[in-house]
Chain A
């Protein structure tokens, strides 16, 4: 079984997680840039983070035989802090990099005018750089948030079929599907979706354009949720091909829209000599 986690924040995860993910069949992942829990106070803090998503984190992933790509953006929460907004001017030079496969996560947090502005600007950046966009839906006031999100996409130059709308659930899936966007579901231990609800949604709406992710980060979350969904799909009568479609081919097709997905991951030579990561920092 080959699995692709299309939304996971590995910066917040340990080496044990990488090992367990590889053992569970995860061969590729996308790490969207996001809020770190502690608010940033300057664009420079974003730049170091972006550099890490293009440098150290892919190196860590490669040591476990996992292909690492990222999506870069000013996240909606910090779009509201005028000290951070200047990072929008730095984004263009980052969006040309090889491992950047989308603009994201963008979207709404509290649905403020500052968020409107950042979302519109970044949908335009995606268009300008030939990239798709990963747009999350807000945790609070979700259905209203989804509608406003879809409106923002319709008003932008980015076609709906180059947008992945994430953190969907039973209340938002139908309208999202009708819009023609790609459908993302984050499977969490206790909030958002669980694997049983996920399988029900797959049964009701089919696997077309559906992506499932763990969205694992520094909160209570589980980097093996993609595998848990795959296992439950099989137990509930879905075929191996269905599983491969949802958990491999769909994310490959969506992020492949960037023309930058490189799934041929060669671990750095040094790992053949011994595991340098475990020793390097000692």
Chain B
């Protein structure tokens, strides 16, 4: 999974390449130092570790287009575990929370960071929802929560491409197919368009016959 080329889950190498291609040498140098510092001093004394400060300022140091990559790599370099990730998430801006969610599949093997995914899925912030439905959620969310996560993506306009492991988890899921069919019926009754991704997921979840209206 770590080296997947799935759009839902860029590999660490892909993130490194993205940062290395930063047009501004000062930003590249800042990233290099921040990663080295996180690797050398993952712990810390005082109320806040140095790498957590770097995490907070990554946006202004390397720009919003590279901040996700920088933050995920800083978390990885610091070997942040569930406790540190939980602290960073709880004390973080939306951008930092997003980075924690993106880093989960690279840093946590068991299900103990699931409360962070569940927190993000309760929000209506599509940046957080999209990051929450990555490979970590695919691996650990129970069937009920996973189905609701897919439905929430369709509801809030997060493209279903963001959902990692979609084909495998949706496969022959009759309950998911029912939920999608009901949602489509509700939208149609309200004269509102059915999200384009819905029929794609329905085709994966349903039996052989497709239920297009």
Is the CB–CB distance between B47 and A93 below 8 Å? yes
Q: Is the interface of B mostly helix, strand, loop or mixed?
A: helix
A262 at the interface (CB under 8 A from B): yes
Q: Which residue of A97, A99, A270 contacts B126 across the interface (Cβ within 8 Å)? A: A270
Could you say which residues of chain B place their CB within 8 Å of the CB of A220?
A: none
Shortest distance between the CB of A15 and any CB in chain B (Å): 13
- A-B pairs with beta carbons under 8 A, tally: 83
Majority secondary structure of chain A interface residues (helix, strand, loop or mixed): loop
Cβ of A98 within 8 Å of any chain B Cβ, yes or no, is yes
- If the complex has contacts A98-B56, A259-B60, A262-B60, are A276 and B94 also in contact, measured as CB distance less than 8 A? no
CA distance A271 to B94 in the complex (A): 17
Q: Are B64 and A270 in contact (CB under 8 A)?
A: no
* Complex interface: chain A residues within 8 A of B157 (CB): 270-271, 273-276, 279
B189 adjacent to chain A (CB < 8 Å): no
- Asked if B156 contacts A269 (CB within 8 A), the reply is no
Bound Cα distance A68, B205 (Å): 40
Interface string of B157-184 (1 = CB under 8 A from A): 1110000000000000000000000000
Which one of B97, B124, B196 lies within 8 Å of A277 (CB-CB)?
A: B124
Bound: A33/B155 CA distance, A = 31
Known contacts being A55-B93, A274-B193, A276-B156, is A96 close to B124, with CB within 8 Å?
A: no
B29 within 8 A of A: no
Closest to A58 in B: B94
Q: Would you give the shortest CB distance from A154 to chain B, in whole angstroms?
A: 29
Question: Are A273 and B195 in touch, CB under 8 angstroms?
Answer: yes
Give Cα distance in the complex from A197 to B127, angstroms. 43
Report whether A269 and B97 are in contact in the complex, using a CB–CB cutoff of 8 Å.
Answer: no
**Least distance between A174 CB and chain B CB atoms (Å):** 36
A151 to B81, CA, bound (A): 48
Contact yes or no, A97 B93, CB < 8 A: yes
Report the separation of the CA atoms of residues A96 and B59 in the bound assembly, to the nearest whole angstrom.
11
A49: Cβ under 8 A from any B Cβ: no
Q: Least Cβ distance of A105 to chain B in Å?
A: 20
Given A93-B91, A270-B130, answer yes or no on A280-B156 (Cβ-Cβ < 8 Å): yes
Contact with B along A243-282 (1 / 0, CB 8 A): 0000000000000000110101010111101111101111
**A to B CB contacts below 8 Å, 15 in the list:** A54-B93, A55-B97, A55-B125, A58-B94, A96-B56, A98-B59, A260-B60, A262-B63, A268-B125, A269-B126, A269-B159, A273-B157, A276-B156, A279-B155, A280-B156
Given contacts A55-B93, A273-B157, A281-B124, 12 further A-B contacts (CB under 8 A): A54-B93, A93-B48, A96-B53, A98-B58, A259-B60, A262-B63, A269-B158, A273-B196, A275-B157, A276-B126, A276-B156, A279-B157
